[in-house]
Amino acid sequence: MKMCEPCGGLCPKACEGTGSGSRFQTVDSSNIGKFVNCTKILGNLDFLITGPKGDPWHNIPALDPEKLNVFQTVREITGYLNIQSWPPHMHNFSVFSNLTTIGGRSLYNRGFSLLIMKNVNVTSLGLRSLKEVSAGRIYISANKQLCYHHSLNWTRLLRGPKEGRLDIKHNRPKKECVAEGRVCDPLCSSGGCWGPGPGQCLSCRNYSRGGSCVTQCNFLNGYCGKLQLMYRSCILRSSLVPFILQ
């Protein structure tokens, strides 16, 4: 007998994306509402200049940047992620902080599954949960203030053949980033980071707890029960509920 069970947290919800095969060419103020509570994007997400700035020819007003937070729930994009325009006061893409997988089942232009270009005010990527780019190429270029990307071991994200799949250029020079202190937190491993602070590490040098890297597990912060180490993560032995698994 099949029985319905309540979801533990947000229920899975698949939503149509933008671009080729979609009614919409870009995320904008006319369609942002349809992404509320989406956990999986079927297809692609495009952010073109007529998205954030609006499209007067089609009577589409500028997008309220706060509404981009609807993408906090997205864990998977089956196609590509294409960001060519972003609100000027938003310096990273942390609205996608829970995105784990870019599938690359459909690709942009010359075979790209992740394309980030000409976002002049972006200083870090902030894709802290991204673990896999299944297919397609990565193109990150002409983001004049972008740092931290130099530190990443990008090949760890790629599935299948890796040769020729990375094209990362013309962003902030590494020496300028280092001179300004825009480098990974000391608690990050050699795998690099997505941005500043111990919560942006690709993996941890020591242990992880609550989505952030720590030097050791302890009894602080009001947690009850003994702490035990499992896969270099801090967990409560009394409940065996992990703070985070990496």
Q: Assign 26 a pLDDT band (cuts: 50, 70, 90).
A: very high
How many structural domains is the chain composed of? 1
Question: What gap in Å lies between CA 98 and CA 14, rounded to an integer?
Answer: 15
The residue that leads in pLDDT, 241 or 212, is 212
Q: What is the pLDDT of residues 181-190, one digit of tens each?
A: 999 999 999 9
The residue that leads in pLDDT, 135 or 5, is 135
Flag whether pLDDT at 81 surpasses 50.
yes
Residue 213, in any domain of the structure? no
64: CATH: 3.80.20.20
Residue 246, in any domain of the structure? no
Residue 203, in any domain of the structure? no
Residue 31, in any domain of the structure? yes
Flag whether pLDDT at 193 surpasses 90.
yes
pTM given for the model: 0.87
Is 105 exposed, middle or buried (CB count within 10 Å of its CB: 0-12, 13-18, 19+)? middle
Name the residue range of residue 25's domain. 9-183
* Segments of 65-206 assigned E as strands: 76-77, 81-83, 101-102, 112-117, 132-133, 137-141, 166-169
Residue 127, in any domain of the structure? yes
Residue 210, in any domain of the structure? no
27: CB partners within 8 A, 6+ apart: 18, 35, 45, 46, 47, 51, 63
pLDDT at 19: 93
Question: What gap in Å lies between CA 7 and CA 165, rounded to an integer?
Answer: 38
pLDDT at 5: 66
Question: What gap in Å lies between CA 121 and CA 225, rounded to an integer?
Answer: 45
Residue 202, in any domain of the structure? no
| Residue 167 token pair | 């094209």
pLDDT at 237: 54
pLDDT at 222: 41
Residue 197, in any domain of the structure? no
